Structure 1
C-alpha cells in the first residue's frame, strides 16, 4: 500500500462535515479532506499566526481579545470542538438514574414529562 492511499481514521463529525462539504465543492471525499488538511498545514506554518498566543488563550492564561481575527477564528473552532466533545459525553438520564433522582423534560409535543428514578 502506498502512502498516498494509507487509510486514516477520522472522527465521525469530521467525516460527516467533509462529506457535506464535498457535495457543495464538487470534490470527492478524499479530495475534501486533503484540501482541509492543506489549509490547516498552511495556517500552522503561517508566520502571521502566533500559535503560542492561541495556546495561552485556550489554556485561559491570556485574553481572547489579544488575538488577531485569524487567531480568534482558530480559537473559536477549538472551543466549538471542545464543547461538542463535552456534549457528546453527557448522559444526564443515566446520571439521574444512578443517583436515584427523577427529572423533568419536554416530550416531542412540548409537554412536561417527569421521569421517575427506577432505583
Structure 2
C-alpha cells in the first residue's frame, strides 16, 4: 500500500522529465531510483567501503577508480544540495556581522543589517 510522503521539488522534476523516456510514471520513476539506491546502499562491497572512506576523509579521492569516483561525486553533489536547502545564509552572515543586500518581494534592493534592521537602497524602476 502506498504511503504519502513529501518529495523534494528537484527530485520530482527530474523524475518527471526522465519517466517518459523510461516508460514509467513519475511515481514509478521515484520508486525505481529509491530501490536502486537502497540496493546499492545495503550491499557492502569493497568499492562502497572505499567510497565511504573517501567521504570520511580516510582515503584520498585520487585513489578511487573511475566507477568509485562517479559514486563519490554523486554522494558529494547530493550532500551539498541537501545542506544548501537547510542553510539560512542571511542568518549565518548576520551572525558574522556582515551586511547583506537582496531584492525584496516588491523588487526593491534592500540592505539587511546584523542587528535586524533593514534599509531600502533602491526602488524598482517604474515600467
TM over 0.5: yes
Aligned to 1:20: 17
Moved >4 Å (runs of 4+): 96-101
Cα deviation, 1:9-35, whole Å, max 9, x if unaligned, reads 354132332222213333112321233
For 1:42 and 1:90, locate their aligned partners in 2 and report how far apart those are by CA, in whole Å: 30
C-alpha displacement at 1:52, in angstroms? 1.1
Aligned to 1:29: 26
Q: 1:9 aligns with which of 5, 9, 33?
A: 5
C-alpha contact (below 8 Å) 1:102/1:114 kept by paired residues? no
Q: How does 1:1-119 map to 2 (within 5 A)?
A: 5-7=1-3, 9=5, 11-12=7-8, 13-41=10-38, 43-44=40-41, 45=43, 50-97=47-94, 101-104=98-101, 115-117=111-113, 118=117
RMSD: 3.0
Q: 1:37 to 1:102 in 2, by over 3 A?
A: closer
Segments of structure 1 that go 5 or more residues without pairing to the other structure are 108-112
Segments of structure 2 that go 5 or more residues without pairing to the other structure are 104-108, 119-127
For 1:43 and 1:29, locate their aligned partners in 2 and report how far apart those are by CA, in whole Å: 21
* Higher helix residue share: 1
User: Tell me, what secondary structure is at the counterpart of 1:62?
Assistant: coil
For 1:71 and 1:21, locate their aligned partners in 2 and report how far apart those are by CA, in whole Å: 24
For 2:35 and 2:14, locate their aligned partners in 1 and report how far apart those are by CA, in whole Å: 16
For 1:75 and 1:42, locate their aligned partners in 2 and report how far apart those are by CA, in whole Å: 16
